[in-house]
Amino acid sequence: MTVPAPPPDRLPDGFAVRLAPGTQRRDGGTTLLGGSPFRMLRLAPAARTLLDGDRLEVTDARTAALAARLLDTGVADPDLPPAPLPAVTVVVPVRDRTDGLARLLAALRADPGTAGCPVVVVDDGSAEPSEVAAVAAGARLLRHEEARGPAAARNAGLRAAGTPLVAFVDSDCVPEPGWLEQLARHLADPRLALVAPRITALGGARASAWVARYEGVSSALDMGTAAARVAPLTVVSYVPSAALLARRAALGAGFDETMRVAEDVDLVWRLAGAGWRVRYEPAARVAHDHRVAPADWLRRRAFYGTGAALLAQRHGAAVAPVVISPWSAAAWALALTGSPLGVLAAAGVLGRASEQLARRLAAPGDPLPLRLAAGLVLRGTAASGRTLARAVTRHHWPLAVAAALVSRRARWLVAGVAVADAVDGWWPHRHEVDLPTAAAGRRLEDLAYGAGLWLGALRAKDVRALLPAAPPPVGPPPARTGQGPTR
């Protein structure tokens, strides 16, 4: 499936961006290091003058081009004031979940921002359609006689919408007041196709269950607290379809109806590949009624895992479970030999990588920034180590178990990685959840997801979802073009 090309319109006057947290400025502000994937931008003198501080407001074609470049590399985020909410149709796919549908519709009516929005409820083959119809009174109701999946249900609502914008909200969600206004600020960007809120845990009587406590801090639907550009192989590589605000013109035919899982990831990646922008905005929040029965929860995680093979068939290496540079891979392989010679060789590899990176980072005529390069290499190697640990316990645990069965050393290594990974995942949430709950939840979730991942690969007879990929380089060698604000 394809999506329409984005419009050629530049960012409008008054649109502003601000350097993202973590972006480093060097060489008097002419070099920017940051973004996702991490990269280097070297500003031409004119651009350095335009970006005098951390904030840039669009006033002409030059500032528009620079702001767009900063956005598209993840070096900056939009810095926009509140904006009036344009006409939006809310599309709600549902199957049998009448209690959740009633709760959602009540929340939409109670929110001044959505109280007047047209609502389309798509009944995807519910067993008791009369009950859905009774709850959906006051909304436009569409029905599929047989269940065709969430993608088909959302597409039916998309086709029925009569407004330029469509908000998709699942029936097990409860948006917080003002969520849509927060998302609508991003529509000032004419190339913005999709923006998603943060998905948090819905409280209630079941919140005391141990799965609920774990999901409250580690849900696969929660993309975190930081605003981000959304694209493959970035920190926020996708956003879930539990709640989205989209331009109808950008979606084309919409979700791929042949996919019963990962159809939201596929849509985001098709949009990004076509040149549209997709954003994650955590200031907007939508609560989700997580599955907390352990068996249901684990089945759902395994189901999510089966989607990776489908994504690999459509998007190749974008779904890679491990993204690691050859330098880091070699260093870890040598270090894990455990021998002094292996550790020494790993240090040599990292030293050589630091020297090469320093040459890429150096401005013409300046000394090599070896300290900066070494810091970046060590940081990247540490991050890749965490990625490898996650792969051992999540994506490739069948291989890890097989190795542990035949090697005592592998048993100790796998056990140590499993414990370290559990503590690493728990530490940022240590004030919200206890370590035993976090560790048990992480290990069980990883086992379920990994089982689904391998099952999906076997069904598809395609192993690409299990293979690693190399990251893009930090930055190309500096080269002036004379045509734009960056070089």
Indicate if the alpha-carbon torsion angle 468, 375, 73, 31 is positive or negative.
negative
Tell me what pLDDT residue 349 has: 94
Given 28, 46, 78, the domain boundary residue is 78
Cα 4 versus chain centre, distance? 22
Q: Are residues 105 and 168 in the same domain?
A: yes
Q: Is residue 473 part of a domain?
A: no
d(CA 237, CA 331): 26
Q: Say whether both 211 and 110 belong to one domain.
A: yes
Q: What global pTM score does this model have?
A: 0.92
Same domain, 204 and 277: yes
Give domain status of residue 425, yes or no.
Answer: yes
CATH number at residue 109: 3.90.550.10
Domain-embedded: residue 4? no
Count the domains in the chain.
3
**Within a domain: 167:** yes
Residues contacting 392, CB < 8 A, separation 6+ = 400, 414, 417, 418, 421
CA distance 384 to 278: 26
Confidence at residue 471, expressed as pLDDT on a 0 to 100 scale: 78
Smallest CA-to-CA distance from 474 within 361, 387, 379, 338 is with: 361
Asked if residue 404 and residue 364 are part of one domain, the reply reads yes
Question: Same domain for 74 and 97?
Answer: no
* 231 and 352 share one domain: no
Residues of the chain with pLDDT under 70: 204-208, 473-487
- For 254, left (φ over 0), alpha (ψ -120 to 50), or beta? left
Angle at which helix 263-274 crosses helix 294-315, to 10 degrees, equals: 30
For 346-464, where are the E strands, in sequence order? none
Taking CA atoms, 222 is separated from 17, 58, 290, 335, 399, in Å, by: 24, 32, 11, 34, 28
Q: What is the pLDDT of residues 71-93, one digit of tens each?
A: 999 999 999 998 888 899 999 99
**317 occurs within a structural domain:** no
Q: Is residue 480 part of a domain?
A: no
**Boundary residue ending a domain (78, 110, 130):** 78
The C-alpha atoms of residue 83 and residue 80 are separated, in whole angstroms, by: 8
pLDDT at 234: 92
Q: Residue 476 carries which side chain, given as an amino acid letter?
A: P
> Residues 338, 282: one domain?
no
The residue written with tokens 């999946």 in the block is 149
Per the structure, the complete domain to which residue 443 belongs is given by: 326-466
Residues 98 and 53 in one domain: no
Q: What is the pLDDT of residue 44?
A: 87
Packing angle of the helix pair 294-315, 210-218 (nearest 10 deg) = 30
| Interatomic CA distance for residues 465 and 462, integer angstroms | 7
Same domain, 64 and 124: no
Structure tokens that stand for 192 in this block: 């913005």
**56/191 same-domain check:** no
Residue 313 placed within a domain = no
Q: Determine the Cα angle at 184 with ends 183 and 186, to 5°.
A: 80
Residue 59 lies in a domain: yes
Output the DSSP codes for 253-276: T-S-TT-SSSHHHHHHHHHHHHT-
CA proximity to 74, closest of 232, 239, 250: 232
Q: With beta carbons less than 8 A apart as the criterion, state whether 259 and 311 touch.
A: no
Q: Could you tell me if 54 and 110 lie in one domain?
A: no
DSSP conformation letters of 57-95: E--SHHHHHHHHHHHHTTSEEE---------EEEEEEES
Q: Is the same domain home to 165 and 225? A: yes
The answer to whether 288 and 169 are in contact (CB under 8 A) is no
Four-point Cα dihedral 31, 34, 39, 41, nearest 10: -30
Give pLDDT tens digits for 270-303. Answer: 999 999 999 999 999 999 999 989 999 999 999 9
Instruction: Compute the radius of gyration of the chain from its Cα atoms.
Output: 24
